[in-house]
Structure 1
Amino acid sequence: MSIEELFKQFLISKEITTDTRKITKNCIFFALKGENFNGNTFAKAAIDQGASIAIVDEKEFENISSNIFYVNNSLETLQELARSYRNHLNIPFIGLTGSNGKTTTKELISAVLKEKFRTHFTYGNLNNHIGVPLTILSIPENTEIAVIEMGANHQKEIELLASISQPDYGYITNFGKAHLEGFGGFEGVIKGKSELYNFLRENNKTAFVNFKDPIQVEKTNDIKRITFSDEENTDYKIEIIKNNQEFLSVSCLDQEIQSNLTGDYNFSNISCAITIGLHFGIKIDSIKHGIENYYPTNNRSQIIKKDNIKIIMDAYNANPSSMEVALKNFSKFEGSKSIIIGDMFELGEESKKEHQKILNLAEELNFNKIFILGKNFNETITSNKNVLKFDNRTDFESFLLNNPLKTDNILIKGSHGMRLDLININQL
């Protein structure tokens, strides 16, 4: 089946799935393969359950009379179909990547844009070589603007995702110490994330730039750009007007905006959303409404109150850069403070050093109790009696049964694989 024929069928069905558990009537099923599964073996089941056609890339599963069609590579065909639909939509696309804050920034941008436009944005963490095509193919035709999150853990991945989504605008939240193993160190992170800038440059598109980030400024000096910061020499000036121990407030165009996010590190995320809103002609009072009605609910800087304890649940992901800013921000909270931090993954040869640096920082910040979970943190060196080590979350929860925390504030942060979000907060 040619991509042209497939595209015509897609315009009729408008539904794509790669999972037979999510078959809808007349959808298109793509048989993808992974280490532990082969979607080709489910093609007939997809048709039997109501799919209009199935796309396979192993010839033995082709059955044209049953609408099961063979292509050389199902994943590449899915990506090519997404490119075709992206061009068909002919609406502004905003591409977003970075080491930290991608999802929060995406949701803030979308909350602002929805004040004026029919907006579609990446759902959950569908931000990789499969998720981005699926996101694009799920965009309703009446959408007026799209926000596409792009994740990466190695070189050339952002290049691929940009070639699929073809963003008209791009924003890199920051360059941090994330996925060091795959990128080959911090310089590799900069090079890999900057593949978005390369696409914007080569296609005469526009970058949104945090003018306080010297890497962003340097990497975009030959690209069309729209800048923001708390200084006068930018296109949009936005300032922090107060940062109490709970929520961050900013000021723009004489308007105070009270967010539901904690930490100075969210200032650039909020500022980008404001900048994009203003660029697309949204009034500042509508921008204020969008931001003030956005509440984090995805274990990212989420504030949970239990009795008299304030819990900062920031356990969706972690790397040395995000861990550092989270600890420093938490140290400003009033009252006693305890932290529960878990291993940071994908750091390669830097892992031992980076885990030790984070523990050293935690000790310097004088938290009342420091609970460290995981193999990597267990290999750190400390003589601090306030540091308690645990192999995993289960061991820590067993400890809590007889040792409830007596503290005013608790920070929970670690890589998603540590699943610190599953800690029973009723035991804390």
Structure 2
Amino acid sequence: MKIDALHQLFLDCTSICTDTRKVKNNCLFFALSGEKFNGNTFANEALTKGAKYAIIDDAKFKTSDNTILVENSLKTLQELATYHREYLGLKIIALTGSNGKTTTKELINVVLSKKYNTTATVGNLNNHIGVPLTLLSMDKNTEIGIVEMGANHKKEIALLCNIAKPDYGYITNFGKAHLEGFGGIEGVIKGKSEMYDYLISNNKLIFYNAEDTIQEEKLIDYNSKVGFSNNNTTDYNYTLLDINPFVTFKTEDIVIKSNLIGAYNFTNLCAASTIGRHFEVTLNQIQTAVKDYTPTNNRSQIINQGSNSIILDAYNANPSSMDVALKNFSIQDTKNKIAILGDMFELGDSAPEEHQNIVNLLSFLDIDKVILVGENFYTTNTENSNLEKYKSFEDFKNNYKTIKDSALLIKGSRGMALERILELL
């Protein structure tokens, strides 16, 4: 079936589904296969549960006219997403980076929503499946689409850009994330810069942080760009006023107060404000959007639980994000600061060194007590008397002593699931 004909079938359906547990009446089901399962085996179940059509790529599972055979279900999903994106003809803003992608995406969305009908990536649907699903969730009411792109190896951002075909792009930063897949920090820079490669080759507009020397150098000879900084040399300029406890900043004569912690979120706020201003959202509208935004999903969430004040930043962690989170926590004006840190994953051969670097950093920070959880942190050399180590979460749980009247930072990679600590507290 040609992609234009498939698109007509898609328009007659209510939604896209790839999981039979989430099938809705009249949805279009795509049988996607993984390393441990064959999605085609679920096609008939999807139809039985109410799917209008099922896309398969194995002929022996074709049971009716509602089962549509294609050469490759995943590739067809991606091609359909691109076709739909071009059919709608809307503006697409893409963003990637090592840290802050999701928070920045959400900030851009709340800012632009003050003036436009927007559709943005939900949660972390930012990979080769998530990006197509995001595009296919857009409709004729969508004026601007905001697409987050994640990657853990080279050529992935290039693929996602070719699927989404963005008109605008922004890279939050280049940090020590997914070092194993990228092959080191140089690989990270090259992989994330694939977004620049796409945007520059197609003469699209790039938003950039002029305080980031890597971004500045890579875009020095490119003219279609909009920059921001904390001085008067770029298109938009911002001044950080306070970070204790939340980020407050100023641009022109407008003071903007947020519910976000850490100087690192100042950059994310500046990016969202810059993109909003480029699209003619007023500063007063931006001020309201930022004031009303509260982070969720274990990303720098502020939680008051009993006598404890908690920064829950357990969605993910890498050396770069761990470094800035700890430095920010150490300067908070509060008593009895306790950091509970979980292992950082996907670092490959760099894991021992990067975990040791974090432990070494802790010696210079104003944090009263540190609890390290995970095999990587457990093998580090530690000399601090205020530091405890546990090989696993279960070890920590079994030895847990009540924590009261404290300020806590909880941070670790997703696989550590440190939000479980809330139950103990």
Give TM-score scaled by structure 1 length: 0.97
Counterpart in the other structure of 2:248: 249
Whether the 8 Å contact between 2:373 and 2:390 is mirrored in structure 1 is yes
Write out aligned runs for 1:154-303 (5 A). Answer: 154-223=153-222, 224-244=224-244, 246-303=245-302
Write out aligned runs for 1:28-427 (5 A). Answer: 28-63=28-63, 65-223=64-222, 224-244=224-244, 246-334=245-333, 335-400=335-400, 403-406=401-404, 408-425=406-423, 427=424
**1:62: how far off?**
2.0
**1:182: how far off?**
0.1
- Distance across 2 between alignment mates of 1:43 and 1:154: 31
Whether the 8 Å contact between 1:47 and 1:66 is mirrored in structure 2 is no
- Distance across 1 between alignment mates of 2:139 and 2:394: 43
Deviates more, 1:43-52 or 1:269-278: 43-52
- Distance across 2 between alignment mates of 1:222 and 1:307: 54
Give TM-score scaled by structure 2 length: 0.97
Q: 1:278-331 deviations in whole A, cap 9, x for unaligned?
A: 100111100101111000011111111123322111110000000000000000
**1:409: how far off?**
1.1
Question: Which residue identity does 2:261 align to in structure 1?
Answer: T
The two structures, once aligned, show a CA RMSD in angstroms of: 1.2
- Distance across 1 between alignment mates of 2:219 and 2:168: 12
Q: Aligned with 1:33: secondary structure? A: coil
- Distance across 2 between alignment mates of 1:13 and 1:366: 56
Whether the 8 Å contact between 1:337 and 1:407 is mirrored in structure 2 is no
- Distance across 2 between alignment mates of 1:42 and 1:313: 37
Question: Which residue identity does 2:54 align to in structure 1?
Answer: A
The size of the alignment, in residue pairs, is 423
Q: 1:171-193 deviations in whole A, cap 9, x for unaligned?
A: 00000000000000000000000
**1:37: how far off?**
1.6
Question: Which residue identity does 1:325 align to in structure 2?
Answer: V
Whether the 8 Å contact between 2:88 and 2:139 is mirrored in structure 1 is no
Q: Aligned with 1:260: secondary structure? A: coil
- Distance across 2 between alignment mates of 1:265 and 1:73: 42
Q: Aligned with 2:350: secondary structure? A: helix
Whether the 8 Å contact between 1:98 and 1:193 is mirrored in structure 2 is yes
**1:406: how far off?**
4.7
Q: 1:379-406 deviations in whole A, cap 9, x for unaligned?
A: 1011222111112222212222xx2125
Whether the 8 Å contact between 1:336 and 1:409 is mirrored in structure 2 is yes
Contiguous gaps of at least 5 residues in structure 2: none
Question: Which residue identity does 1:331 align to in structure 2?
Answer: S
**1:332: how far off?**
0.4
- Distance across 2 between alignment mates of 1:130 and 1:194: 21
- Distance across 2 between alignment mates of 1:138 and 1:42: 22
Q: 1:50-106 deviations in whole A, cap 9, x for unaligned?
A: 21211111121123x341121111000000000000101111110010000000000
Whether the 8 Å contact between 1:14 and 1:138 is mirrored in structure 2 is no
Identity across matched positions, percent = 54
**1:252: how far off?**
1.1
- Distance across 1 between alignment mates of 2:287 and 2:383: 48
Deviates more, 1:194-203 or 1:8-17: 8-17
Whether the 8 Å contact between 1:247 and 1:260 is mirrored in structure 2 is yes
**1:14: how far off?**
4.2
Whether the 8 Å contact between 1:338 and 1:407 is mirrored in structure 2 is no
- Distance across 1 between alignment mates of 2:11 and 2:422: 46
- Distance across 2 between alignment mates of 1:145 and 1:14: 21
Whether the 8 Å contact between 2:307 and 2:404 is mirrored in structure 1 is no
Contiguous gaps of at least 5 residues in structure 1: none
- Distance across 2 between alignment mates of 1:412 and 1:25: 41
**1:221: how far off?**
2.2
Deviates more, 1:249-258 or 1:183-192: 249-258
**1:366: how far off?**
4.2
- Distance across 1 between alignment mates of 2:363 and 2:404: 19
Whether the 8 Å contact between 2:331 and 2:366 is mirrored in structure 1 is no
